[in-house]
């Protein structure tokens, strides 16, 4: 986190009431981002889409969402005055009558003062005559918008750049609802970093001909509005950021209805955009092209994401877990490779470095394929460690060298929770590593792992860290506790594990 962002974050924290909440799973504090979601009027079915937006945000574990519902069309909006300053970010699912002057002013002050704002789909149809709002969203559509409101902004493929077109014409159109390719135009931005360059959104409205001031606006992604399906023939902006005073705005034109919101393209970019608008950075795990696919649109029901979904972090307090360590001795375990020592002390396994030793592993004597795994670990600063999963040791592979996916353990800031391919030369399997501080130094840290088929997911202290598809590694093997080799004249260091449990999946 840059210094600038840190200062900014402190200011925001002063503005916003602390949103720290207790995780129900193991009582540890997880900082969640406070979100206010606004609805109440929309030419779209906000009663259906608001709960979906809420579920998409809360389901990824990063957000607490409150909803503020404005009075319905035709009613007085004088009573509608949400306390914007209680939140880090406001998400609008609202397209309707003007708010009161006081509420509009309060909203402008909130965003200009450093609050986050996210405009979803038809929220950019709203408020055609509210100047500050149009500067926040950058581009808008319908409501009488025309050349008087600003240019069209389009990506020109032949010039490889964005152009601003001030020619006369209406603002706002869309063709038929079809699946389309989201093309990332800036992969460096925190919202898009770690996402594939292109991925499909499921059938949705692709907004075109949006017009607006487009000041301090940065287009992150475009979509081709195909003439064959009633589109403009232009590469239209889909995802944008706007700087408004001190505030960060994320604008997504995706998300027409409940069907469109099942698209992972909508969900992932919304989750990342809301986090960025709130904090200026994105700590959610990168999503690769195996999950966010470019050939057909990846679909995930936000209400029932299924057992593979990130929202379904395995509940370590529920039933079905089997203890791998009895707390007394190393029954069920055997050491492979190096000469680091492992002892049992006060219900913990303590691994201690040995000078001159290669990496050592205390391994389960049986193999596990698809499973959930949890343990607590407390690692000395300076000692690299990890837990092998689905790992192998074969006489015909580097003289029994332990190899396979390793869930990294390391003091913060570090790579804890990311997946390293131990002993194979592949290096990191998780290439993108946005979160470096989920691990708490000097404390017991709860790790949770799910390995199911090709997919491996990890959480450290409730924070999602890795979500990868790994087709190369073995799908079954032992679980192993690593004590890394150390350089001469360093150490000795120790690493401690306890409460090691597994729950096998079918």
Binding site for Zn ion (CB under 5 A): 205, 256
8 Å CB contact between 368 and 476: yes
In this complex, which beta carbon is closest to Zn ion, that of residue 145 or of residue 256? 256
In this complex, which beta carbon is closest to Zn ion, that of residue 124 or of residue 205? 205
Least distance CB 140 / Zn ion (angstroms): 13
In this complex, which beta carbon is closest to Zn ion, that of residue 129 or of residue 176? 176
Residue the block writes with tokens 């029994």: 400
As a whole number of angstroms, the distance between CA 319 and CA 25 comes to 13
In this complex, which beta carbon is closest to Zn ion, that of residue 120 or of residue 451? 120
* 3 state SS of 3: helix
Least distance CB 242 / Zn ion (angstroms): 21
Least distance CB 205 / Zn ion (angstroms): 4
Least distance CB 177 / Zn ion (angstroms): 8
Least distance CB 122 / Zn ion (angstroms): 5
State the pairing for strand pair 455-460/445-452.
Answer: antiparallel
Query: Residues for the chain: how many in total?
Result: 506
Least distance CB 183 / Zn ion (angstroms): 20
With b meaning 16 or more CB within 10 Å and e meaning fewer, what string describes 227-262?
eeeebbebbbbbbbbbebbebbbbbbbbbbbbebbb
Q: Which residue is nearest to Zn ion (CB)?
A: 256
Complete DSSP assignment for 339-363:
--EEEEETTEEEEE--TT---EEEE
As a whole number of angstroms, the distance between CA 46 and CA 63 comes to 20
**Which distant-in-sequence residues (6+ apart) come within 8 Å of 269 by Cβ?**
182, 191, 192, 195, 221, 239, 252, 254
Least distance CB 259 / Zn ion (angstroms): 11
The two counts, helices (H) then strands (E), for the chain are: 5, 30
Least distance CB 121 / Zn ion (angstroms): 6
Q: Among 358, 352, 357, 376, which Cα is nearest to 449's?
A: 376
């Amino acid at each position: 986190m840059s210094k600038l962002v840190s200062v900014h974050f402190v200011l925001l924290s002063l503005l916003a009431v602390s949103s720290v909440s207790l995780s129900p799973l193991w009582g540890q504090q997880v900082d969640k981002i406070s979100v206010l979601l606004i609805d109440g009027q929309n030419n779209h079915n906000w009663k259906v889409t608001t709960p979906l937006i809420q579920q998409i945000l809360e389901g990824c574990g990063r957000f607490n969402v409150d909803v503020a519902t404005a009075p319905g069309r035709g009613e007085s909006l004088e009573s509608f005055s949400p306390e914007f300053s209680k939140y880090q970010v406001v998400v609008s699912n609202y397209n309707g009558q003007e708010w009161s002057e006081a509420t509009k002013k309060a909203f402008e002050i909130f965003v200009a003062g450093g609050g986050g704002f996210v405009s979803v789909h038809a929220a950019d149809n709203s408020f055609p005559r509210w100047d500050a709002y149009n500067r926040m969203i950058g581009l808008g559509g319908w409501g009488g918008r025309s050349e008087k409101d600003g240019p069209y902004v389009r990506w020109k493929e032949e010039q490889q750049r964005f152009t601003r077109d001030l020619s006369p014409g209406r603002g706002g159109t869309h063709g038929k609802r079809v699946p389309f390719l989201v093309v990332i135009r800036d992969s460096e931005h925190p919202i898009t970093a770690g996402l594939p360059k292109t991925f499909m959104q499921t059938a949705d409205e692709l907004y075109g001909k949006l017009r607006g001031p487009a000041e301090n606006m940065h287009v992150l992604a475009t979509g081709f509005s195909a003439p064959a399906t009633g589109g403009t023939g232009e590469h239209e902006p889909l995802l944008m950021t706007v700087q408004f005073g001190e505030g960060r705005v994320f604008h997504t034109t995706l998300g027409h209805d409940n069907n469109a919101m099942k698209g992972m393209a909508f969900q992932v970019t919304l989750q990342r955009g809301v986090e960025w608008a709130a904090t200026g950075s994105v700590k959610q795990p990168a999503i690769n092209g195996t999950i966010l696919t470019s050939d057909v649109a990846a679909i995930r029901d936000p209400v029932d994401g299924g057992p593979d979904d990130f929202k379904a972090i395995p509940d370590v307090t529920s039933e079905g877990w089997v203890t791998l360590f009895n707390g007394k001795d190393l029954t069920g375990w055997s050491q492979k490779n190096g000469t680091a020592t492992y002892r049992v002390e006060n219900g913990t396994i303590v691994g201690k470095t040995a000078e001159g030793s290669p990496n050592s592993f205390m391994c389960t004597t049986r193999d596990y394929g698809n499973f959930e795994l949890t343990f607590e670990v407390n690692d000395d600063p300076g000692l690299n460690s990890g837990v092998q999963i689905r790992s192998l040791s074969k006489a015909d592979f580097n003289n029994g060298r332990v190899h396979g996916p390793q869930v990294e353990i390391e003091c913060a800031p570090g790579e804890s929770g990311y997946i390293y391919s131990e002993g194979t030369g592949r290096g990191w399997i998780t290439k993108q590593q946005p979160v470096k501080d989920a691990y708490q130094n000097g404390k017991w840290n709860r790790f949770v792992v799910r390995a199911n088929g090709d997919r491996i997911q990890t959480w450290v202290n409730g924070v999602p860290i890795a979500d990868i598809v790994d087709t190369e590694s073995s799908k079954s093997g032992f679980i192993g506790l690593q004590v890394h080799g150390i350089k001469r004249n360093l150490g000795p260091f120790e690493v401690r594990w306890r409460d090691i449990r597994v729950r096998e999946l079918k």
